[in-house]
Structure formats: structure tokens, C-alpha cells
Amino acid sequence: MMSLRTAFLFILLLGVSALGACGGGGSDFKNSLTFGDGFGGNGFTLLNEGTTFSVATMGTTGQIYFKLESADDMAGRAVRLYINDGTYAQKDYTNPQSYGHILLSSFRITDVGAFTVKGYLVEQVGPDIGKETFVADSTITMTP
């Protein structure tokens, strides 16, 4: 009887050790907000990533493309951007997937200057209330 308990304990410890060696299945995703001037061929990369863009080069559209990446699964939550803490109207984006870590889209800036952009995930918790979870921020500069 004692050897059966010892064998069970040994198997249990071996199993726990093996699970610990697996690394817990950590995510390769990180919290980040990056910008570019277009989307790449696969639709999940930004073209000409950077933080400085020319209003003249962007033309009258002023279109800035962004990728918000979340270390945690977005779980279908909407994305909200604040530009210069509300100096510009907030930008809301519905998330077309019920899972995933990345959302790509765009917004417009046609003014010259530095702009801090903050990205949040928004979970609907009531008819008119959204719980915001900060993901990342970054600053872009628009030159003439």
C-alpha cells in the first residue's frame, strides 16, 4: 500500500513538473500602438511604419493607419482612440472578431503638430456605459 502512494505521489510531481516546463503557453503579443501610411499585402502589417508623417505627402486625406496590439485577447471588445486627450473627437472602432489580439484601421489628421494617441479596449457594461481598459499610447508628429 505504501508503494502505491509513493508511486502516485511521484507521478503527480512528475506531471506538475512537466506542466511547469511547458512555459504556461505565454502570448507572443504585446501592448503596442504603431502607425504607418498604408496596409501591407497580408492586411496585418503597416507600410512605412513611423511616428513622423508629412501633411503634404499624405495629401488632403491625412489618413494615418494604425495597428493596436493587445497582450490580452481583445475578446470582441471595441477599440477607442483618444487623440491629444480629447482635443480631437474620440475614434471608436467595432471589432469584427470575437477573439484576437490585433486591430488595424485608420483615422485622419490634417493639422501640423505632435499628437498623443491613446488606445483602449471598450467593453459594454450597460446600455450607455463602456468600461475602458488602457492598452498603449504613442505620439505621432505631423510636419508641413
Cβ–Cβ contacts within 10 Å for residue 113, how many?
Answer: 12
What are the grid coordinates assigned to 104, written together?
A: 488595424
DSSP 6: H
Contacts of 109 (CB under 8 A, 6+ apart): 62, 64, 83, 88, 115, 140, 142
pTM score, two decimals?
0.76
Residue 135, Cβ density class (10 Å: 0-12 exposed, 13-18 middle, ≥19 buried): buried
Between CA 89 and CA 117 the distance in angstroms is 12
As a whole number, mean pLDDT of residues 36-47 equals 86
Is 85's pLDDT higher than 80? yes
Domains of the chain, earliest start first:
30-143 (2.60.40.10)
Which amino acid is located at 17 in the chain?
Answer: S
Cell of 4: 502505491
Average pLDDT over residues 21-49: 80
- pLDDT, one tens digit per residue, over 44-70 is 789 999 999 988 877 667 789 999 999
Say if residues 92 and 120 touch (Cβ distance below 8 Å).
no
pLDDT of the residue at 109? 87
> Taking a C-beta distance cutoff of 8 angstroms, is the pair 104, 94 a contact?
no
Which run of H or of E encompasses 4? helix 2-21
